[in-house]
Structure 1
Amino acid sequence: MTTSDEKQDQKQSLWNPKDAVPKHIQELLSKPQSNPSNYNYISAFYQIVFLLKDQKRTGWLDFKVPQPESIADHMYRMSIIAMSLNPNSFETDQPSKSTPPDLTKCCKIALVHDIAEALVGDITPRDANIGKVEKNRRELTTIQYLAEIIKPYNSGFAEEIVDLWLDYENQRNFEARIVKDIDKYELIIQTYEYERKTGKNLYEFIESSLKNIKTQEIKALANQIIEEREEFLKSKTSSNGTN
Protein backbone atom coordinates (compact mmCIF):
# COMPACT_ATOMS: atom_id res chain seq x y z
CA MET A 1 0.00 0.00 0.00
CA THR A 2 1.37 3.42 -0.99
CA THR A 3 1.54 5.96 1.85
CA SER A 4 0.73 9.65 1.46
CA ASP A 5 4.43 10.49 1.85
CA GLU A 6 5.35 8.06 -0.92
CA LYS A 7 2.69 9.56 -3.16
CA GLN A 8 4.10 13.01 -2.49
CA ASP A 9 7.63 11.79 -3.29
CA GLN A 10 6.36 10.25 -6.54
CA LYS A 11 4.62 13.48 -7.47
CA GLN A 12 7.74 15.52 -6.71
CA SER A 13 9.95 13.18 -8.72
CA LEU A 14 7.90 14.07 -11.79
CA TRP A 15 9.24 17.62 -11.66
CA ASN A 16 11.28 18.37 -14.77
CA PRO A 17 13.21 21.60 -15.47
CA LYS A 18 11.91 21.66 -19.05
CA ASP A 19 8.39 22.16 -17.71
CA ALA A 20 9.53 25.31 -15.87
CA VAL A 21 10.93 26.95 -19.01
CA PRO A 22 8.66 29.76 -20.31
CA LYS A 23 6.82 28.90 -23.50
CA HIS A 24 8.61 31.45 -25.70
CA ILE A 25 11.99 30.00 -24.70
CA GLN A 26 10.77 26.46 -25.36
CA GLU A 27 9.72 27.62 -28.84
CA LEU A 28 13.16 29.14 -29.41
CA LEU A 29 14.82 25.85 -28.48
CA SER A 30 12.57 23.86 -30.80
CA LYS A 31 13.24 26.08 -33.83
CA PRO A 32 15.54 24.80 -36.56
CA GLN A 33 18.92 26.48 -36.18
CA SER A 34 19.28 29.29 -38.70
CA ASN A 35 23.09 29.38 -38.52
CA PRO A 36 25.93 26.96 -37.76
CA SER A 37 26.85 28.81 -34.54
CA ASN A 38 23.75 27.56 -32.73
CA TYR A 39 22.84 31.00 -31.43
CA ASN A 40 19.30 29.87 -30.60
CA TYR A 41 20.62 27.66 -27.81
CA ILE A 42 22.83 30.20 -26.08
CA SER A 43 20.16 32.87 -26.50
CA ALA A 44 17.70 30.57 -24.76
CA PHE A 45 20.19 30.10 -21.91
CA TYR A 46 20.64 33.85 -21.51
CA GLN A 47 16.87 34.29 -21.37
CA ILE A 48 16.58 31.60 -18.71
CA VAL A 49 19.23 33.45 -16.69
CA PHE A 50 16.95 36.51 -16.83
CA LEU A 51 14.52 34.63 -14.60
CA LEU A 52 17.01 35.08 -11.75
CA LYS A 53 16.54 38.85 -12.06
CA ASP A 54 12.78 38.46 -11.92
CA GLN A 55 12.52 36.21 -8.82
CA LYS A 56 12.58 37.68 -5.33
CA ARG A 57 14.37 35.86 -2.52
CA THR A 58 11.89 33.75 -0.59
CA GLY A 59 13.16 34.58 2.90
CA TRP A 60 12.50 38.27 2.45
CA LEU A 61 9.07 37.62 0.99
CA ASP A 62 8.22 35.46 4.01
CA PHE A 63 9.16 38.35 6.30
CA LYS A 64 7.25 40.84 4.13
CA VAL A 65 10.28 42.98 3.35
CA PRO A 66 9.11 45.54 0.77
CA GLN A 67 10.73 45.40 -2.68
CA PRO A 68 13.18 42.65 -1.71
CA GLU A 69 16.27 41.70 -3.67
CA SER A 70 16.18 39.17 -6.48
CA ILE A 71 18.24 36.00 -6.67
CA ALA A 72 20.42 37.75 -9.27
CA ASP A 73 20.97 40.71 -6.92
CA HIS A 74 22.31 38.35 -4.27
CA MET A 75 24.61 36.53 -6.70
CA TYR A 76 25.93 39.76 -8.18
CA ARG A 77 27.10 41.21 -4.87
CA MET A 78 28.57 37.85 -3.90
CA SER A 79 30.66 37.98 -7.09
CA ILE A 80 31.84 41.53 -6.34
CA ILE A 81 32.82 40.43 -2.83
CA ALA A 82 34.74 37.47 -4.25
CA MET A 83 36.61 39.72 -6.69
CA SER A 84 37.54 42.27 -4.04
CA LEU A 85 38.88 40.01 -1.29
CA ASN A 86 42.56 40.09 -0.38
CA PRO A 87 43.78 36.58 -1.26
CA ASN A 88 46.70 36.89 1.14
CA SER A 89 44.28 37.30 4.07
CA PHE A 90 43.35 33.63 4.00
CA GLU A 91 46.73 32.32 5.16
CA THR A 92 45.39 31.38 8.61
CA ASP A 93 42.55 29.44 6.98
CA GLN A 94 44.88 27.13 5.06
CA PRO A 95 48.30 27.30 6.81
CA SER A 96 49.56 24.16 5.11
CA LYS A 97 49.28 25.74 1.65
CA SER A 98 51.56 28.42 0.28
CA THR A 99 49.33 29.44 -2.62
CA PRO A 100 46.48 31.90 -2.00
CA PRO A 101 42.95 31.04 -3.13
CA ASP A 102 42.01 31.60 -6.76
CA LEU A 103 39.58 34.53 -6.50
CA THR A 104 38.71 34.27 -10.20
CA LYS A 105 37.43 30.78 -9.49
CA CYS A 106 35.59 32.11 -6.42
CA CYS A 107 33.89 34.71 -8.60
CA LYS A 108 32.84 32.11 -11.15
CA ILE A 109 31.44 29.82 -8.45
CA ALA A 110 29.51 32.74 -6.95
CA LEU A 111 28.01 33.54 -10.35
CA VAL A 112 26.67 30.02 -10.91
CA HIS A 113 26.05 28.61 -7.41
CA ASP A 114 22.34 29.57 -7.44
CA ILE A 115 21.80 29.52 -11.19
CA ALA A 116 19.55 26.44 -11.04
CA GLU A 117 17.08 28.56 -9.07
CA ALA A 118 16.14 30.25 -12.35
CA LEU A 119 13.91 27.22 -12.95
CA VAL A 120 13.73 25.56 -9.53
CA GLY A 121 12.96 28.73 -7.59
CA ASP A 122 14.36 29.81 -4.22
CA ILE A 123 13.42 26.86 -2.00
CA THR A 124 14.15 27.49 1.68
CA PRO A 125 14.31 25.08 4.64
CA ARG A 126 10.97 26.53 5.72
CA ASP A 127 9.28 24.94 2.69
CA ALA A 128 7.19 22.10 4.07
CA ASN A 129 6.42 20.66 0.64
CA ILE A 130 9.92 20.20 -0.76
CA GLY A 131 12.60 18.50 1.35
CA LYS A 132 16.36 18.83 1.04
CA VAL A 133 16.79 15.64 -1.02
CA GLU A 134 14.17 16.70 -3.55
CA LYS A 135 15.56 20.24 -3.68
CA ASN A 136 19.02 18.87 -4.46
CA ARG A 137 17.61 16.53 -7.11
CA ARG A 138 15.80 19.37 -8.84
CA GLU A 139 18.84 21.61 -8.80
CA LEU A 140 21.18 18.91 -10.12
CA THR A 141 18.71 18.02 -12.87
CA THR A 142 18.43 21.69 -13.76
CA ILE A 143 22.15 22.40 -13.98
CA GLN A 144 22.54 19.34 -16.21
CA TYR A 145 19.65 20.55 -18.37
CA LEU A 146 21.22 24.02 -18.68
CA ALA A 147 24.49 22.40 -19.73
CA GLU A 148 22.63 20.54 -22.47
CA ILE A 149 21.27 23.84 -23.77
CA ILE A 150 24.70 25.52 -23.70
CA LYS A 151 26.63 22.60 -25.23
CA PRO A 152 25.74 23.11 -28.93
CA TYR A 153 27.15 26.64 -28.73
CA ASN A 154 30.04 26.21 -26.26
CA SER A 155 30.75 22.70 -25.01
CA GLY A 156 33.64 23.89 -22.86
CA PHE A 157 31.45 26.25 -20.87
CA ALA A 158 28.76 23.58 -20.61
CA GLU A 159 31.24 21.37 -18.76
CA GLU A 160 32.62 24.26 -16.70
CA ILE A 161 29.26 25.43 -15.39
CA VAL A 162 28.46 21.94 -14.08
CA ASP A 163 31.92 21.61 -12.51
CA LEU A 164 31.64 25.00 -10.80
CA TRP A 165 28.16 24.19 -9.52
CA LEU A 166 29.35 20.82 -8.17
CA ASP A 167 32.35 22.53 -6.57
CA TYR A 168 29.96 24.62 -4.52
CA GLU A 169 27.32 21.98 -3.93
CA ASN A 170 29.83 19.37 -2.72
CA GLN A 171 32.34 21.86 -1.25
CA ARG A 172 35.08 20.25 -3.31
CA ASN A 173 37.79 22.89 -2.83
CA PHE A 174 38.88 25.85 -0.73
CA GLU A 175 37.44 28.34 -3.22
CA ALA A 176 34.01 26.74 -2.86
CA ARG A 177 34.27 26.98 0.92
CA ILE A 178 35.10 30.68 0.65
CA VAL A 179 32.07 31.24 -1.56
CA LYS A 180 29.88 29.36 0.92
CA ASP A 181 31.03 31.83 3.55
CA ILE A 182 30.50 34.77 1.18
CA ASP A 183 26.92 33.57 0.73
CA LYS A 184 26.37 33.88 4.50
CA TYR A 185 28.28 37.15 4.73
CA GLU A 186 26.28 38.76 1.93
CA LEU A 187 23.08 37.73 3.71
CA ILE A 188 24.31 39.41 6.91
CA ILE A 189 24.97 42.65 5.02
CA GLN A 190 21.57 42.49 3.34
CA THR A 191 19.82 41.78 6.62
CA TYR A 192 21.40 44.81 8.26
CA GLU A 193 20.44 46.98 5.29
CA TYR A 194 16.82 45.83 5.49
CA GLU A 195 16.75 46.41 9.25
CA ARG A 196 17.88 49.99 8.67
CA LYS A 197 15.34 50.45 5.90
CA THR A 198 12.29 48.83 7.49
CA GLY A 199 12.86 48.97 11.23
CA LYS A 200 12.21 45.22 11.43
CA ASN A 201 14.28 42.99 13.68
CA LEU A 202 15.68 40.33 11.35
CA TYR A 203 18.43 39.08 13.63
CA GLU A 204 17.58 35.41 13.12
CA PHE A 205 19.07 35.68 9.61
CA ILE A 206 22.28 37.14 11.05
CA GLU A 207 22.52 34.59 13.85
CA SER A 208 22.06 31.55 11.62
CA SER A 209 24.50 32.89 9.02
CA LEU A 210 27.26 33.97 11.40
CA LYS A 211 27.53 30.61 13.15
CA ASN A 212 28.01 28.83 9.81
CA ILE A 213 30.92 30.95 8.55
CA LYS A 214 34.11 28.89 8.66
CA THR A 215 36.97 31.04 7.33
CA GLN A 216 38.52 33.57 9.68
CA GLU A 217 38.73 36.30 7.05
CA ILE A 218 35.03 36.22 6.17
CA LYS A 219 34.12 35.89 9.85
CA ALA A 220 36.13 39.03 10.58
CA LEU A 221 34.33 40.89 7.81
CA ALA A 222 31.00 39.69 9.14
CA ASN A 223 31.86 40.77 12.67
CA GLN A 224 32.56 44.27 11.38
CA ILE A 225 28.98 44.42 10.08
CA ILE A 226 27.71 43.10 13.42
CA GLU A 227 29.58 45.88 15.24
CA GLU A 228 28.18 48.48 12.86
CA ARG A 229 24.69 47.09 13.42
CA GLU A 230 25.07 47.24 17.22
CA GLU A 231 26.20 50.87 17.03
CA PHE A 232 23.21 51.66 14.84
CA LEU A 233 20.78 50.01 17.26
CA LYS A 234 22.32 51.86 20.21
CA SER A 235 22.09 55.21 18.44
CA LYS A 236 18.51 54.45 17.49
CA THR A 237 17.61 53.54 21.07
CA SER A 238 19.34 56.67 22.35
CA SER A 239 17.54 58.82 19.80
CA ASN A 240 14.16 57.34 20.76
CA GLY A 241 14.90 57.92 24.42
CA THR A 242 15.46 61.63 23.89
CA ASN A 243 12.24 62.15 22.00
Structure 2
Amino acid sequence: MGELRSILKLINFSEKLKYELRHSYLSNGRQESVAEHSWRLSLMAIMIEKYLTKPIDIEKLLKMTIIHDLVEAEVGDVPTFDTMNNELKKNMKHKSEIMAIEKIRDMLGNTLGNDIYDLWMEFEEKETYEAKVANGLDKLEAQIQHNEADLSTWIDIEFKMCYMLDKHVEFEPALMELKKLVLEQAEQKLMKADIDLNSLRS
Protein backbone atom coordinates (compact mmCIF):
# COMPACT_ATOMS: atom_id res chain seq x y z
CA MET A 1 0.00 0.00 0.00
CA GLY A 2 2.87 2.37 0.85
CA GLU A 3 4.50 1.91 -2.57
CA LEU A 4 1.22 2.54 -4.38
CA ARG A 5 0.77 5.70 -2.31
CA SER A 6 4.21 6.88 -3.55
CA ILE A 7 3.28 6.04 -7.15
CA LEU A 8 0.04 8.00 -6.83
CA LYS A 9 2.03 10.93 -5.41
CA LEU A 10 4.28 10.90 -8.49
CA ILE A 11 1.27 10.65 -10.82
CA ASN A 12 -0.25 13.69 -9.10
CA PHE A 13 3.11 15.47 -9.36
CA SER A 14 3.33 14.71 -13.10
CA GLU A 15 -0.02 16.43 -13.75
CA LYS A 16 1.90 19.71 -13.95
CA LEU A 17 3.34 18.53 -17.29
CA LYS A 18 -0.16 18.91 -18.74
CA TYR A 19 -0.02 22.65 -18.15
CA GLU A 20 3.74 23.35 -18.13
CA LEU A 21 4.18 25.08 -21.49
CA ARG A 22 7.00 24.71 -23.99
CA HIS A 23 8.15 27.44 -26.35
CA SER A 24 6.51 25.58 -29.26
CA TYR A 25 3.05 26.38 -30.59
CA LEU A 26 0.47 24.10 -32.19
CA SER A 27 -1.03 24.50 -35.64
CA ASN A 28 -4.17 26.01 -34.07
CA GLY A 29 -2.13 28.73 -32.34
CA ARG A 30 -2.24 27.27 -28.82
CA GLN A 31 1.01 26.81 -26.91
CA GLU A 32 2.18 23.22 -26.50
CA SER A 33 2.43 21.49 -23.13
CA VAL A 34 5.34 19.28 -22.08
CA ALA A 35 2.98 16.29 -21.79
CA GLU A 36 1.90 16.72 -25.41
CA HIS A 37 5.51 16.75 -26.57
CA SER A 38 6.32 13.60 -24.56
CA TRP A 39 3.25 11.80 -25.91
CA ARG A 40 4.12 12.40 -29.56
CA LEU A 41 7.78 11.60 -28.95
CA SER A 42 6.67 8.19 -27.63
CA LEU A 43 4.46 7.71 -30.68
CA MET A 44 7.44 8.46 -32.92
CA ALA A 45 9.52 5.84 -31.06
CA ILE A 46 6.88 3.18 -31.78
CA MET A 47 6.59 4.21 -35.44
CA ILE A 48 10.34 4.27 -36.15
CA GLU A 49 11.34 1.02 -34.40
CA LYS A 50 11.24 -1.33 -37.41
CA TYR A 51 13.21 1.10 -39.58
CA LEU A 52 16.20 1.34 -37.24
CA THR A 53 19.36 -0.37 -38.46
CA LYS A 54 20.10 -2.01 -35.09
CA PRO A 55 17.94 -3.99 -32.67
CA ILE A 56 16.62 -1.75 -29.91
CA ASP A 57 15.11 -2.35 -26.50
CA ILE A 58 11.76 -0.71 -27.30
CA GLU A 59 10.55 -0.97 -23.71
CA LYS A 60 13.57 1.00 -22.51
CA LEU A 61 13.22 3.50 -25.36
CA LEU A 62 9.57 4.16 -24.53
CA LYS A 63 10.32 4.53 -20.83
CA MET A 64 12.98 7.10 -21.68
CA THR A 65 10.70 9.11 -23.96
CA ILE A 66 7.96 9.16 -21.33
CA ILE A 67 10.12 10.14 -18.34
CA HIS A 68 12.83 12.30 -19.99
CA ASP A 69 10.97 15.55 -19.26
CA LEU A 70 9.48 14.48 -15.92
CA VAL A 71 11.88 16.83 -14.11
CA GLU A 72 10.12 19.76 -15.79
CA ALA A 73 7.19 19.22 -13.42
CA GLU A 74 9.63 20.54 -10.80
CA VAL A 75 11.87 23.00 -12.68
CA GLY A 76 9.82 23.99 -15.74
CA ASP A 77 10.82 23.88 -19.39
CA VAL A 78 13.99 25.66 -20.47
CA PRO A 79 14.22 25.97 -24.28
CA THR A 80 17.41 24.71 -25.94
CA PHE A 81 18.20 28.12 -27.40
CA ASP A 82 18.34 29.60 -23.87
CA THR A 83 21.36 27.47 -22.96
CA MET A 84 22.90 26.81 -26.39
CA ASN A 85 25.66 29.41 -26.13
CA ASN A 86 25.59 30.03 -22.41
CA GLU A 87 27.63 27.62 -20.27
CA LEU A 88 26.47 29.23 -17.01
CA LYS A 89 22.79 28.75 -17.86
CA LYS A 90 23.50 25.24 -19.14
CA ASN A 91 25.19 24.28 -15.85
CA MET A 92 22.42 25.86 -13.77
CA LYS A 93 19.79 23.95 -15.78
CA HIS A 94 21.69 20.69 -15.35
CA LYS A 95 22.07 21.17 -11.58
CA SER A 96 18.40 22.00 -11.09
CA GLU A 97 17.34 18.98 -13.15
CA ILE A 98 19.66 16.68 -11.16
CA MET A 99 18.03 17.92 -7.96
CA ALA A 100 14.60 17.33 -9.49
CA ILE A 101 15.32 13.75 -10.59
CA GLU A 102 16.78 13.02 -7.15
CA LYS A 103 13.55 14.32 -5.60
CA ILE A 104 11.54 12.06 -7.94
CA ARG A 105 13.74 9.07 -7.07
CA ASP A 106 13.28 9.71 -3.36
CA MET A 107 9.54 10.30 -3.78
CA LEU A 108 9.16 6.81 -5.24
CA GLY A 109 11.86 5.14 -3.16
CA ASN A 110 12.99 1.53 -3.52
CA THR A 111 13.73 -0.08 -6.88
CA LEU A 112 11.22 1.89 -8.93
CA GLY A 113 12.70 5.22 -7.88
CA ASN A 114 16.20 4.03 -8.77
CA ASP A 115 14.98 2.64 -12.12
CA ILE A 116 13.44 6.02 -13.09
CA TYR A 117 16.58 7.82 -11.96
CA ASP A 118 18.87 5.47 -13.93
CA LEU A 119 16.76 5.79 -17.10
CA TRP A 120 16.75 9.58 -16.86
CA MET A 121 20.53 9.64 -16.34
CA GLU A 122 21.04 7.27 -19.29
CA PHE A 123 19.03 9.60 -21.52
CA GLU A 124 21.08 12.59 -20.35
CA GLU A 125 24.42 10.85 -20.95
CA LYS A 126 23.43 9.86 -24.52
CA GLU A 127 25.88 6.97 -24.72
CA THR A 128 23.64 3.94 -25.27
CA TYR A 129 21.85 3.29 -28.56
CA GLU A 130 18.43 3.70 -26.89
CA ALA A 131 19.45 7.06 -25.38
CA LYS A 132 20.81 8.32 -28.70
CA VAL A 133 17.63 7.33 -30.53
CA ALA A 134 15.48 8.95 -27.83
CA ASN A 135 17.51 12.16 -28.03
CA GLY A 136 17.42 12.22 -31.84
CA LEU A 137 13.64 11.75 -31.87
CA ASP A 138 13.28 14.39 -29.17
CA LYS A 139 15.01 16.99 -31.36
CA LEU A 140 13.07 15.92 -34.46
CA GLU A 141 9.72 16.14 -32.68
CA ALA A 142 10.50 19.70 -31.62
CA GLN A 143 11.28 20.67 -35.22
CA ILE A 144 8.15 18.94 -36.52
CA GLN A 145 6.10 20.99 -34.08
CA HIS A 146 7.78 24.20 -35.26
CA ASN A 147 6.99 23.20 -38.84
CA GLU A 148 3.33 22.83 -37.91
CA ALA A 149 3.15 26.16 -36.08
CA ASP A 150 2.65 29.53 -37.67
CA LEU A 151 5.96 31.08 -38.75
CA SER A 152 5.19 34.15 -36.65
CA THR A 153 5.82 32.02 -33.53
CA TRP A 154 9.44 31.28 -34.57
CA ILE A 155 12.17 33.36 -32.95
CA ASP A 156 15.32 34.30 -34.91
CA ILE A 157 17.49 31.35 -33.81
CA GLU A 158 14.79 28.86 -34.85
CA PHE A 159 15.21 29.80 -38.49
CA LYS A 160 18.71 28.28 -38.29
CA MET A 161 17.99 25.47 -35.84
CA CYS A 162 16.39 23.30 -38.51
CA TYR A 163 19.92 23.06 -39.98
CA MET A 164 21.44 21.96 -36.67
CA LEU A 165 19.81 18.54 -36.39
CA ASP A 166 22.51 16.38 -37.99
CA LYS A 167 24.64 16.03 -34.86
CA HIS A 168 21.68 14.45 -33.06
CA VAL A 169 20.76 11.90 -35.75
CA GLU A 170 23.83 11.18 -37.91
CA PHE A 171 24.60 7.94 -35.99
CA GLU A 172 21.43 6.27 -37.40
CA PRO A 173 20.49 6.20 -41.12
CA ALA A 174 16.75 5.92 -40.44
CA LEU A 175 16.81 9.06 -38.31
CA MET A 176 18.85 10.86 -40.97
CA GLU A 177 16.19 9.97 -43.54
CA LEU A 178 13.45 11.22 -41.25
CA LYS A 179 15.46 14.40 -40.63
CA LYS A 180 15.63 15.03 -44.39
CA LEU A 181 11.83 14.87 -44.60
CA VAL A 182 11.45 17.16 -41.57
CA LEU A 183 13.93 19.63 -43.08
CA GLU A 184 12.03 19.55 -46.38
CA GLN A 185 8.89 20.58 -44.47
CA ALA A 186 10.77 23.41 -42.77
CA GLU A 187 12.28 24.66 -46.02
CA GLN A 188 8.92 24.63 -47.80
CA LYS A 189 7.50 26.73 -44.98
CA LEU A 190 10.42 29.16 -45.13
CA MET A 191 10.37 29.47 -48.93
CA LYS A 192 6.64 30.18 -48.82
CA ALA A 193 7.52 33.18 -46.67
CA ASP A 194 10.20 34.29 -49.18
CA ILE A 195 13.04 33.62 -46.74
CA ASP A 196 16.50 33.14 -48.26
CA LEU A 197 17.56 29.59 -47.30
CA ASN A 198 21.22 30.16 -48.21
CA SER A 199 21.52 32.78 -45.49
CA LEU A 200 20.30 30.20 -42.94
CA ARG A 201 22.54 27.37 -44.10
CA SER A 202 25.78 29.30 -43.62
Please name the residue that 2:15 is paired with: 50
Whether the 8 Å CA contact 2:56–2:130 is kept in 1: the answer is: yes
Structure 1 residue matching 2:168: 3-state secondary structure: coil
Kindly tell me the number of residue pairs found equivalent between the two proteins: 186
Structure 2: 5+ residue runs without aligned partners?
195-202
Question: TM-score, with normalisation over the residues of structure 2?
Answer: 0.79
Structure 1: 5+ residue runs without aligned partners?
1-35, 92-99, 238-243
Structure 1 residue 221 displacement after superposition: 0.6
Structure 1 residue 131 displacement after superposition: 1.5
Structure 1 residue 101 corresponds to structure 2 residue 56: yes
Distance 1:38 1:174, change over 3 A: closer
d(CA) in 2 for partners of 1:80, 1:188: 15
Identity rate of aligned residues, in percent? 24
Whether the 8 Å CA contact 2:18–2:33 is kept in 1: the answer is: yes
Please name the residue that 2:108 is paired with: 150
Question: TM-score, with normalisation over the residues of structure 1?
Answer: 0.67
Please name the residue that 1:5 is paired with: none
Distance 1:219 1:176, change over 3 A: same
Please name the residue that 2:52 is paired with: 89
Distance 1:139 1:200, change over 3 A: closer
Distance 1:126 1:236, change over 3 A: closer
The residue identity in structure 2 corresponding to 1:67 is R
Structure 1 residue 217 displacement after superposition: 1.2
Q: 2:92 aligns with which of 118, 134, 138?
A: 134
Larger Cα-atom Rg = 1
Please name the residue that 2:199 is paired with: none
Please name the residue that 1:76 is paired with: 39
Distance 1:208 1:236, change over 3 A: closer
| Structure with larger RCO (C-alpha < 8 A, sep 6+) | 2
Whether the 8 Å CA contact 2:51–2:174 is kept in 1: the answer is: no
Please name the residue that 1:41 is paired with: 6
Please name the residue that 2:24 is paired with: 60
